[in-house]
Chain A
Amino acid sequence: MKQPETKPSDMQHLSVAIQRYRPEQDDTPVWQSYQVPYDDSTSVLDALHWIKEHQDSSLTYRWSCRMAICGSCGVMVDGTPKLGCKTFLRDYPQGLKVAALANFPIEKDLVVDMSRFLQHLTTIKPYLIGEPSLVQAGSASAGSDQPSSAALQPQLQSPEQVKRYQQFANCINCGLCYSACPQFGLNPEFLGPAAIALAHRYNLDSRDQGKAERQPALNSKDGVWSCTFVGFCSTVCPKGVDPAAAINQGKIVSTMDGVIQWFSPKQLDATPQEPTS
Chain B
Amino acid sequence: MSRKPYQPSMPADWWLKHPAYRFYMLREATVLPLLFFIGSLLYGLYCLSQGEASWLVWLSWLQQPWVMALNGLALVASLFHAFTFFRLFPQVMPLRVGSRTLPAGWMIAGQWFGVLLVFLALWWLLGAYHVIN
Contact of A252 among B7, B8, B20, B92 (CB under 8 A): B92
Contact across chains for B99 and A229 when beta carbons are under 8 A apart: no
CA distance A113 to B4 in the complex (A): 11
Please, which residues of chain B bring their CB within 8 A of the CB of A56?
none
User: A-B pairs with CB below 8 Å: how many?
Assistant: 67
Distance between A98 CB and nearest chain B CB, rounded to angstroms: 15
Q: Which of B7, B14, B92 neighbours the largest number of chain A CB atoms within 10 Å of its CB?
A: B92
The verdict on A29 contacting chain B, using a C-beta distance below 8 Å, is: yes
Contact of B5 among A107, A159, A229, A231 (CB under 8 A): A107
Contact of A230 among B1, B6, B20, B92 (CB under 8 A): B20
Please, which residues of chain B bring their CB within 8 A of the CB of A249?
91-94
Known contacts A79-B17, A249-B92, A249-B93; is-contact A103 B8 (Cβ 8 Å): yes
The verdict on B122 contacting chain A, using a C-beta distance below 8 Å, is: no
Contact across chains for A105 and B88 when beta carbons are under 8 A apart: no
Contact across chains for B5 and A79 when beta carbons are under 8 A apart: no
Closest B-chain residue to A245, C-beta based? B91
CA distance A270 to B129 in the complex (A): 58
Please, which residues of chain B bring their CB within 8 A of the CB of A24?
1, 4
Contact across chains for A23 and B6 when beta carbons are under 8 A apart: yes
CA distance A194 to B66 in the complex (A): 46
Contact across chains for A229 and B20 when beta carbons are under 8 A apart: no
Contact of A23 among B3, B15, B24 (CB under 8 A): B3
Distance between B123 CB and nearest chain A CB, rounded to angstroms: 32
Contact across chains for A105 and B91 when beta carbons are under 8 A apart: no
Hey, what's the 0/1 contact readout for A73-109 against B, CB within 8 Å counting as 1?
0000001100000000000000000000011111100
Closest A-chain residue to B20, C-beta based? A232
Residues of A near any B CB (own CB < 8 A)? 21, 23-24, 26, 28-29, 79-80, 102-107, 113, 159-160, 163, 180, 182, 185-186, 228-232, 234-235, 242, 244-245, 248-249, 251-252
28 contacts between A and B (CB under 8 A): A23-B3, A29-B6, A103-B8, A104-B8, A105-B7, A106-B5, A106-B6, A106-B8, A107-B3, A107-B5, A182-B21, A230-B21, A230-B24, A231-B20, A231-B24, A235-B20, A242-B91, A244-B91, A245-B91, A245-B92, A245-B94, A248-B91, A248-B92, A249-B92, A249-B94, A251-B92, A252-B92, A252-B93
